[in-house]
Amino acid sequence: MAFDVIIIGAGAAGLFCAGVAGQRGLKVLLIDHSPKVAEKIRISGGGRANFTNRDLDPRQPHKHFLGDNPHFCRSALSRYTPADFMGLLQRHGVPFHEKHQGQLFCDRSAQDLIDVLLKECDAGGVTRWQPCAVQGVAHAHADPHTATRYTVQTDRGPVSAPALVVATGGLAVPKIGATDFGLRLAHQFGLNVVQPRPALVPLTFDPAAWAPLAALAGLALPVRIATGAKKQRQTFDEDLLFTHRGLSGPAVLQISGYWRPGTPLHIDLHPEAALEPLLHQAKAHSRKLLPNELAHHLPHRLADTWAASRADWQRPINETPDKALAELADSLHRWALTPTGTEGYAKAEVMVGGVDTRQLSSQTMESRQPGLYFIGEVVDVTGWLGGYNFQWAWASAYACAQALVRPTQPLASA
């Protein structure tokens, strides 16, 4: 069976690319090994899919995207914007809302978003094989005057096309079918891969060292968190969540993409105001125990646990030396600790790393291997928490679909 384009991976990027390409008149085959459609969309955003971010600035992608070359995504993001995707949902009558910091969610369910993508595929006459496993991919030149032709061996037999789009995602959340297929395919065709690692992931600590804080599991509070050397330091103001094994919450998920093993985190547990003057004011009129006064400014469990680490932080505040108050405040504003690792791909939302963007066209997503395209998370482009990764899926898919041509047309250049 022959098609104009075969797309492997029916997640966000693959579904959208298939729909756009099909509506441009191409004969599209979309293949996915999973029996469930777009399961990562379904479970995202608490089941409501944080599908884009209104604050994205395509002129400055390095503000919200990681990768060896974060400027690579500028072209695609500028040609398909959050407003474009919002317009698509509005045309389909899907209601959505903004939570905070530009994050947009479906009002009802992520299923609304999946339904839109499937309808777009239907409108483009896309052939969809799911579940259908791929055993291998080969390519050959049919003759000197035609494009490279890819043959894909599948559970349903061999299929071929002059263009092959890889939209198989990253390694995060293997329980819903994530694999390294796209990375292996890149290697097969001689493309470099930036070493992948889990991101948007909780961080863990040595169990013995963490034991005094393990009882704080479930406690959350707003913090300022940073990592990296001064010139490259990355900082976020977000909520922190204590877990039995370490730290999570939006603050840690955001910083995890920038954290490197062996480097410390720097956390301000009370970023809204300096604690030392507040404690001195309390000392002037209160006889309460210091932890009880501290609990006016921090969660009570945190105040008690923190003060328990030193005897001179457990006195009545009016009997506590000024130096001890200053040291307590400083320890809370300048908490430095070094994770021993992460919770891994099982708990990660995305993967950092992937197909090296230096070997892809930023205009078309075509690799240096003619007719072979990579889109979405399999590429070394990773967004912040908050809808940025979905917008990269839409934008890279759209750029690719616009570049795909019928066999009778001249091939798009990489």
SS (H, E, C) 211-273: HHHHCCCCCEEEEEEEECCHHHCEEEEEEEEECCCEEEHHHHHHHHCCCCCCCCEEEECCCCC
pLDDT at 278 over 80: yes
Provide the CATH topology of domain 5-197+349-403.
FAD/NAD(P)-binding domain (3.50.50)
Average model confidence (pLDDT) across the chain: 94
Each domain of the chain, given as residue ranges in start order, spans 5-197+349-403, 203-342
- pLDDT score recorded for residue 100: 87
Q: 180: which DSSP letter?
A: S
User: How does pLDDT run across 61-94, given as a tens digit for each residue?
Assistant: 889 999 999 899 999 999 999 999 999 999 999 9
Identify the residue whose tokens are 């939006």.
250
Over residues 281-297, the mean pLDDT reads 96
Per CATH, which fold does 203-342 belong to? Elongation Factor Tu (Ef-tu); domain 3 (2.40.30)
pLDDT digits 0-9 by tens, 211-270: 999 999 999 999 999 999 878 899 999 999 999 999 999 999 999 999 999 999 999 999
Could you give the angle at which helices 82-91 and 110-123 cross, rounded to 10 degrees?
80
Please check the confidence at residue 342 and state whether its pLDDT lies above 60: yes
Is the separation of the CB atoms in 373 and 365 below 8 Å? yes
